Structure 1
Amino acid sequence: MHLNIAGNNLMGSVDLASSLWRLENLTSLYLSHNKLTVTEEEGSNSSSTYPSRLVGLGLANCNTTKIPNLLMRLNHMADLDLSSNKLSRDIPNCIWNYDLRSLNLSHNMFTGTELNSSHVIPFSSVLNVFDLSSNRLQGQIPMPSSSASILDYSNNMFSSLLPNFTLYLSSTLYLKLSNNNISGHLPHPICDSPMEILDLSFNNFSGPVPPCLMENGVLSILNLRENQFKGILPTNISSGCSVETIDLHGNKIEGQIPRALHNCSNLEVLDLGRNKITDTFPSWLGRLLNLRVLVLRSNQFHGSIDYLEDEKSGEQFSSLQIIDLASNNLSGNLHPQWFGNLKSMKKYNNTGQIIDHRYLTLSTVGFYQDSVTISYKGSVVTFDRILTTLTAIDISDNALDGSIPASIGNLVSLHVLNMSHNAFSGEIPPQLDTMTALESLDLSSNMLSGEIPQELTDLTFLSILNLSNNQLDGRIPQSRQFETFQNSSFDGNVGLCGPPLSKQCGSPDTQK
């Protein structure tokens, strides 16, 4: 008998011992994701009647504080989901004795595993899901001896891997170890698994990135963000490259961006920010027509932001929605056509779809979601999900000069524009008034001159404006959003006058 009432809005308390445990023919019970509080009265072990055939139990998000005693008595259990509860202390040994095909203990407060010193779990069959994420587990990561399609140990306090942990990845498609304290080098045999998604972000891994991770053409997601990886990136990337996300932000990668990345036609997210890469602007990446996010900030890129028109398609960076080149050594003028080719920013997008990546295991279809950290409205913000409506250009803190191209006004869906701390000169283009989705505009610390265009008052969504430290003059516009901005938006422009500044227009100071 199967009883599945998961995913509803049922409320109240359920005592397993006094009700459901008496259903002797019950084979599966799923109460997950309601508004229930599930308990089990003390003394239920002594009952002679219990569902001895139970093989599936789902009590996720049921306000449970104790693992049901019944689990100590059962001989068979295939699917067990106790995630998102208030379970603490050690994971009991009885769970490791089952021949499980799916185990989810995530989002609890477990601190230990009650395993022997080998840290190998003697499951005899390949699991579909093995999820211990978001607990308080420490020490060495336990591995199921039979492997699992999905292995998730993220958001714990694990400090090490088994020396031969790659032996237990023979069936692993998805491995997530993010947000732990794991150190050491990645061994080359990690590429011997059929892995499609590898997330080791926010740890202390070091050494070189194994070339096979980018060269074997199997991985679709490679996230090594915020570690200590060093050396150069592999260059022998074949035409069969299937990678969709490469996130190496916050490591010590040197050298150049491998030109062979042009073989990765499915690449959507490339984040190499905060490394030690020395290269010119990779205009050739513009031919990757699926590329949505390009983050190269805080490296040593130099030279101009070249415009390279594709002879075949005539397009460049046509899907790009986030580009962050801040804090490099880029110089020279901006080619007007460079902005003109950002096709995805030239049309309104109100769908708000999430950039995610589909993966398929033995019986599960899942989605991996990318994240990105950008300067947003004057603060550094991490977006755990990237919506297609999130659009940003940040080329701040470089040595770019010349005028701001009027063509940037065609980017009508752009939300964030930061061109501060460069050497731009000339007037602010009045064509910016067509960027009606703009929420944050930072043109500070340049050499811009002339009056602030009255047309900028049409930017009614603008909540952050910084025009400070330029050579602007004349009266500050006085309508719509401009009435909300403070002195700091206009400081350092000796020729500006009018509110919010104390300097009045027409005073002797303005006539000098």
Structure 2
Amino acid sequence: MTTIPRLLMHVHHIITLDLSSNKIQGTIPQWIWAKWDDSLTDLNLSNNIFSHMQLTSYVLPNICLALLDLSFNRLEGQIPMPNLLITGFSSSPQIFDYSNNRFSSVLSNFTAYLGQTTDLRLSKNNISGHIPHSICDSSNLEVLDLSYNNFSGLIPSCLIEDSYLSVLNLRDNHFEGTFPYNITKHCNLQTIDLHGNKIQGQLPRSLSNCANLAVLDIGNNEMADTSPFWLGRLSDLCVLVLRSNQFYGSLAYPPGDSKYEEYFSKLKIIDIASNSFSGNLDPRWFERMTSMMAKFNDTGNILGRQISVISSYYRDIVAITYKGQYVTIEKILIALTVIDFSNNKLDGDILESIGRLVSLHILNMSHNAFTGRIPPQIGEMRQLESLDLSWNEFSGEIPRELTKLTFLGTLNLCENKLDGMIPWSHQFETFDNTSYEGNAGLCGPPLSKPCVSSSNNPNEEAHMKISGDHVDIILLLFIGVGFGIGFAAGILMEWG
């Protein structure tokens, strides 16, 4: 539909109106708000092309509106807020989704209108200003999504320290200050996304009181702290993003901690790239990530959670480096597994235990100082789609076991000290020379540098053996043909 059906103007009583996912453009008329102000509970106008709203006030007249979804339109100006006069409907939860529009402002006291609101989404607009501390009076609020706006100032500490929120998403704004540190054991947060702000200081140890925390993303901030290994005690943590901060020091586990065997058991995505972590990797890092060690039957499921409110579902998002590109994934598949330790100061060998992560999809260890040989055990990670070990100090030959990675779409081994013949079979036949640049000792296709024949080169020996076998077969064929011709000639002469 391209217009709102006019026959609706003659309907006297409507409880639910859903015109979503059409091509209706222009203005949302005044009558759609006023005609059913005492009956309309659910109004969904999302995924259209509305650009304006005809309103006499930015406080909606509907006294029992429980669901308002205006997301994915082109609406501008100020955001209208729900009416507080909910007589007879005081126990009804309210869900308001204004995301993915062009709204530029909100009422200065908008928090006063959130008495029954459980789910408020304002993401991807152009809203600026501060979050008033009065938002903490909204005791029913479970989801607060203000991501991708221009909010600034301090984050009200009550949103993390002592709130009933399940989801707090303040991603890509201009918030500053420090991470609230006095977090109580009443913490219900399952998602904390502060990615892309200006948060400084340390990550508070009291964050471990958020026992249900599943997603923690504080990437692209200005935090400075040592390795938060203690986060491993959060048994539901599956996404941890610390990238592009100022974390430093060793990634070693604490000595004498008897509970380390349970650390990070559900972790599926860990991104600590672009920090200053240094030293060798503790072998226990990969030994406890049991969620990456087995295949699951949840390939099509999306990472998110059902909020206690009926019909309210929140989907987490994450930004990762995938096949050489930094991309934002708004529908995270539960089966997606990622390890990104790139752009740090890590050294020593990569642990052979990494081969146990058979369900890992993306492995990025680039721009460190790793030495030794590439572990052939990586060839056991048959689900691997992207492998980046570039800009390290790996030496020796490329393990032939890596040719078993039949799902591998991106390979980067540039700027190391690798030598010998490049394995040339299966998926490796699809990679060009850009995967191997900066390794003076490598030879063979796809490089233009030929390999010098050597009995110590197993690839060359195999090639020579195959060639020798071909010659033997040809000689036998000739002998057989000659014997047959001679035998036939003898019979013909006898007959003659």
TM-score (norm 1): 0.84
SS at match of 2:363: strand
Which deviations, in whole Å up to 9, do the C-alpha atoms of 1:157-213 show, x marking residues without a partner? 000000111111000000000010000000011121110011111000001111111
The equivalent of 1:395 in structure 2 is: 341
Larger Rg: 2
Contact 2:169 2:192 in 1 (8 A): yes
1:169 aligned onto 2:114? yes
Q: Which has the higher mean CA deviation after the structures are superposed, 312-321 or 434-443?
A: 312-321
Contact 1:450 1:472 in 2 (8 A): yes
Within 2, Cα distance between the matches of 1:404 and 1:124?
62
Corresponding residue for residue 439 of structure 1: 385
Three-state SS of the structure 1 residue aligned to 2:152 is strand
1:243-282 map, 5 Å: 243-282=189-228
The answer to whether 1:109 aligns with 2:56 is: no
Aligned length: 443
For 1:96, the aligned partner's letter is W
Unmatched 5+ residue regions in structure 1?
1-63
Question: Could you tell me which of 304, 309, 315 is aligned with 2:262?
Answer: 315
Q: What is the CA–CA distance in structure 1 between the aligned matches of 2:417 and 2:204, rounded to whole Å? A: 41
Q: Does 1:143 align with 2:81?
A: yes
- Report if the CA contact (8 A) 2:136-2:163 is conserved: no
Show the 5 A alignment for 1:225-304: 225-304=171-250
Separation in 2 of the partners of 1:285 and 1:382?
A: 24
Pairing 1:94–2:31 present: yes
**Does the 8 A contact of 1:462 with 1:481 survive in 2?**
yes
Asked whether the equivalents of residues 310 and 316 of structure 1 are also in contact (C-alpha less than 8 Å), the reply is no
1:122 to 46, 61, 76: 61
Indicate the residue corresponding to 2:288 in structure 1.
341
Q: Distance in 1 between matches of 2:147 and 2:252?
A: 32
**2:134: which partner in 1?**
189
Q: SS of the counterpart of 1:173?
A: strand
1:180 aligns with 2:119: no
Whichever structure has more helix as a proportion of its residues is 2
- Structure 1 213/134 Cα, relative in aligned 2: closer, same or farther at 3 Å? same
Greater shift after overlay, 150-159 or 87-96? 87-96
In the alignment, is the contact (CA less than 8 A) between 1:287 and 1:310 conserved in 2?
A: no
Aligned to 2:462: none
**Hey, what does 2:490 align to over in structure 1?**
none
Q: Distance in 1 between matches of 2:146 and 2:289?
A: 32
Matches within 5 A, 1:421-432: 421-432=367-378
> Higher strand proportion, which one?
1
Which of 52, 61, 66 is matched with 2:3 structurally?
66
CA gap of 1:313–1:496, structure 2 versus 1, over 3 A, is closer
- Separation in 2, partners of 1:453, 1:66: 63
For the 8 Å contact 1:271–1:295, the answer to whether it is kept is yes
Q: Compared with structure 1, are the counterparts of its residues 312 and 468 closer, same or farther at alpha carbon in structure 2 (3 Å cutoff)?
A: closer
Letter in 1 for 2:31: C
Q: Which residue of 1 aligns with 2:18?
A: 81
Q: Which runs of 5+ in 2 are unaligned?
A: 87-92, 458-496
Q: Tell whether the 8 Å contact from 1:217 to 1:238 is kept in structure 2 after alignment.
A: no
Distance 2:409 2:44 in 1: 43
Q: Distance in 2 between matches of 1:463 and 1:85?
A: 37
Larger mean Cα displacement after TM superposition, 83-92 or 205-214: 83-92
Question: How far, CA to CA, are the matches of 1:154 and 1:145 in structure 2?
Answer: 19
Counterpart in the other structure of 1:154: 99
> 3-state SS of the aligned residue for 1:218?
coil
CA separation in 2, counterparts of 1:80 and 1:461?
46
User: For each residue in 1:199-253, what CA deviation from the matched residue of structure 2 results, as whole angstroms up to 9, or x when unmatched?
Assistant: 1110000011111111224100011111001110111111111110011111111
1:328 corresponds to which of 265, 268, 275? 275
Q: Which residue of 1 aligns with 2:474?
A: none
> Could you tell me how far apart the structure 2 residues matched to 1:314 and 1:378 are?
33
| Aligned pairs for 1:11-22 within 5 A | none
Q: Say whether the 8 Å CA contact 2:66–2:95 is kept in structure 1.
A: yes
Q: Is the 8 A contact 1:71 1:94 kept in 2?
A: no
TM-align CA RMSD: 1.7
Structure 2 Cα separation of the partners of residues 217 and 85 of structure 1: 38
Partners of 1:491 and 1:350 lie apart in 2 by 38
Partner of 1:134: 72
